[in-house]
């Protein structure tokens, strides 16, 4: 177990600040997603399970810790604007924070333990994901569905002060509950949103079972029939090296666009070109092999559902050029004739140099040809993440009247004696 280890006093002010801003980013996405269909369905499911001590964000529903975690994780994933750890291809915050918040509302937990738990959760989920997630694996399995339960179970175990044996059991039980298939992007199906919910619910259950004395396999990750073996990567167990350098949470970035990770930089490059889209006769997007081969990213339509559009680099770039903005409303224009025209003249190409630099940086280049023959291009060596000020602004906008009180508590998270009071 990660030293039940990783003490709050080990953490730098930067790490503490990163947890706080990541929590606000998760909350902003959750509030903004309240009226989306998957969110309403998840809240309904949580409510049907019966009342409990844990809150569903932005709703009147109170539920058991597991069901609240399920609903809140779905809420956090609704915009596709969640935080991103590129090396593990994972959105860890949308599983870790629902798990910690739900557990913290069912017992008294200090903010310091919450923060230490979050850091440990990011560390384990990211470290395992770096070892496991190659292009072949992610074509079939959803990374967050695998790394999320692992990271969140460690986070919960650390926050609750488990012994090493109990923490190992929680992790082993969570390994048995990893799931998520990448069949959904082609049709834009809702599976993706619920991957995070299942992961958080399973993480809470694994932690609570271990707390009650359930004995999980110590070799559920690295054994001959463990998770690494199941994914045909048992030879990579030694590559899992948490706390061996800079904390993994510092490698997490916050999306500026409510779309797939692999479309972020291309969107920013397209926006920087700033041309009248009606003058564009061809669009050439250079990106990494990871971007081209991730399910749904190289799709050119037709687009029948918003999630298809949010995954497609073609659509994301075309919509950015057509609307000269990067915003949620871009992805509601599935029938926009100008976006459709731009998609029809768009092609993607792998750039070997960009591929070589990935995942350390995530570059892209957009080249547009105009009707007069002029060629405009913009190359970004890496995406520009949302800043803390931008995250706070969109949280305040999404949370409305509740924003001031919650933001003040999050800012003082390391001073709270009872994290449950955040809500």
Whether 1 is in a domain gets the answer no
pLDDT of residue 267: 97
Whether 103 is in a domain gets the answer yes
pLDDT of residue 423: 82
Same domain as 116, residue 227: yes
Count of domains for the chain:
2
**Exposure on the CB side of residue 247, measured as CA atoms within 13 A:** 19
pLDDT of residue 7: 87
Inter-CA distances, 70 with 64, 205, 276, Å: 10, 11, 43
Inter-CA distances, 79 with 25, 262, 397, Å: 12, 15, 15
- Residue 228 corresponds to which tokens in the numbers above? 């690494």
pLDDT of residue 236: 97
Whether 2 is in a domain gets the answer no
Q: Domain range for residue 322?
A: 261-380
pLDDT of residue 417: 97
Same domain as 154, residue 248: yes
pLDDT of residue 200: 98
Whether 70 is in a domain gets the answer yes
* CA dihedral of 262, 267, 270, 276, whole degrees rounded to 10: 140
CATH number at residue 289: 3.30.1330.120
pLDDT of residue 50: 85
Same domain as 61, residue 197: yes
Same domain as 134, residue 104: yes
Same domain as 99, residue 37: yes
pLDDT of residue 4: 39
- Residue 319 corresponds to which tokens in the numbers above? 């919509």
Identify the H or E element spanning 90. Answer: none
pLDDT of residue 115: 98
Same domain as 232, residue 97: yes
Whether 143 is in a domain gets the answer yes
The pTM of this model reads: 0.96
Same domain as 398, residue 276: no
Same domain as 209, residue 191: yes
Same domain as 201, residue 301: no
Same domain as 39, residue 175: yes
Inter-CA distances, 78 with 17, 24, 121, 177, 331, Å: 25, 15, 22, 22, 13
Mean pLDDT by 10 residues, the chain (423 residues): 64 97 98 97 94 95 97 98 98 98 96 98 98 96 98 98 97 97 96 98 98 98 98 97 96 97 98 96 98 97 97 98 96 97 98 97 98 98 97 97 96 96 86
Same domain as 73, residue 19: yes
CATH number at residue 74: 1.10.4100.10
């Amino acid at each position: 177990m990660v030293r039940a280890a990783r003490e709050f006093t080990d953490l730098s002010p930067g790490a503490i600040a990163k947890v706080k801003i990541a929590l606000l980013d998760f909350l902003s996405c959750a509030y903004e997603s309240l009226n989306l269909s998957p969110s309403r369905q998840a809240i309904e499911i949580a409510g049907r399970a019966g009342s409990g001590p844990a809150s569903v964000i932005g709703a009147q529903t109170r539920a058991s810790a597991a069901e609240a975690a399920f609903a809140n994780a779905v809420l956090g994933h609704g915009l596709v604007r969640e935080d991103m750890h590129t090396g593990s291809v994972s959105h860890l915050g949308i599983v870790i924070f629902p798990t910690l918040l739900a557990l913290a509302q069912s017992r008294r937990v200090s903010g310091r333990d919450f923060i230490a738990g979050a850091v440990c959760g990011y560390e384990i989920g990211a470290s395992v994901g770096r070892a496991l997630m190659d292009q072949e694996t992610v074509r079939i399995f959803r990374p967050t569905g695998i790394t999320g339960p692992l990271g969140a179970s460690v986070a919960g175990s650390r926050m609750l002060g488990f012994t090493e044996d109990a923490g190992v059991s929680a992790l082993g039980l969570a390994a048995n509950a990893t799931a998520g298939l990448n069949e959904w992007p082609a049709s834009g199906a809702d599976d993706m949103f619920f991957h995070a919910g299942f992961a958080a619910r399973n993480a809470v259950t694994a932690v609570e079972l271990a707390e009650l004395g359930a004995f999980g396999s110590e070799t559920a990750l690295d054994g001959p029939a463990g998770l690494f073996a199941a994914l045909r990567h048992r030879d990579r167990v030694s590559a899992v090296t948490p706390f061996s350098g800079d904390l993994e949470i510092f490698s997490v970035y916050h999306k500026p666009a409510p779309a797939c990770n692999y479309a972020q930089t291309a969107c920013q490059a397209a926006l920087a070109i700033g041309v009248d889209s009606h003058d564009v006769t061809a669009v050439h997007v250079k990106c990494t092999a990871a971007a081209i081969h991730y399910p749904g990213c190289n799709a050119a339509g037709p687009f029948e559902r918003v999630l298809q559009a949010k995954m497609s680099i073609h659509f994301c770039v075309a919509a950015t050029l057509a609307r000269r903005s990067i915003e949620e409303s871009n992805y509601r224009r599935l029938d926009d004739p100008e976006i459709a025209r731009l998609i029809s003249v768009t092609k993607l190409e792998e750039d070997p140099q960009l591929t070589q630099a990935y995942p350390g940086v995530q570059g892209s280049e957009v080249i547009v040809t105009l009707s007069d023959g002029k060629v405009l291009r913009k190359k970004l060596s890496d995406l520009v993440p949302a800043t803390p000020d931008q995250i706070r602004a969109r949280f305040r906008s999404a949370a409305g009247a509740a924003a001031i009180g919650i933001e003040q508590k999050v800012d003082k998270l390391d001073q709270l004696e009872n994290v449950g009071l955040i809500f």
